[in-house]
Amino acid sequence: MKKIMVIDDVPENREIFTTLLEDQYQVIEASDGKQGLELAEKEIPDLMFVDISMPGMSGLEFIEQLRKHDTLYHIPVIVVTAHSVFSAKKAVAKGCNGYLLKPLIPEKILQKVEEWIEQP
């Protein structure tokens, strides 16, 4: 079963992903970037959804750390943000593979999953 990691400091946001995806994927939740890196090293997910605005390590800082990691740098990362499209595009420039704008829409989440996991 493929693994999808969701890193967000808001439990309700993580729950949206988990409820939507848990029947087809193993969903791994983390509440901040530090925990996300620790879990990613153990689990090696196939795709990550990362909130940009988190206390401690921001989503952008998380992506920078991930891209430097010997075994994790290749994992596709989709940032999730309530900020502007400009903010999301800035994240893409930092090394993420795409973005979702809040509020979270199930069809958009599934579209990103299909784009990054289901496509050969």
Across the chain, which has 120 residues, the per-10-residue mean pLDDT values are 96 97 97 95 97 89 92 94 71 83 93 86
User: Quick count: other Cβ atoms within 10 Å of Cβ 41?
Assistant: 11
In this structure, what CATH number is given to the domain that contains residue 23? 3.40.50.2300
Whether the bond between 76 and the residue before it is cis, its omega within 30 degrees of 0, is: no
pLDDT at 94: 79
Residue type, 30: A
How far is the C-alpha of 99 from the C-alpha of 92, rounded, in Å?
A: 8
- Sequence-distant (6+) residues with CB within 8 A of 62 are 7, 33, 36, 37, 50, 54
> How many Cα atoms occupy the beta-carbon half-sphere of 46 within 13 Å?
16
Give the pLDDT of residue 99.
87
Q: How many domains does the chain have?
A: 1
How far apart CA 106 and CA 117 sit, in angstroms, is 16
Q: Domain range holding 11? A: 3-118
In this prediction, residue 90 carries a pLDDT of 74
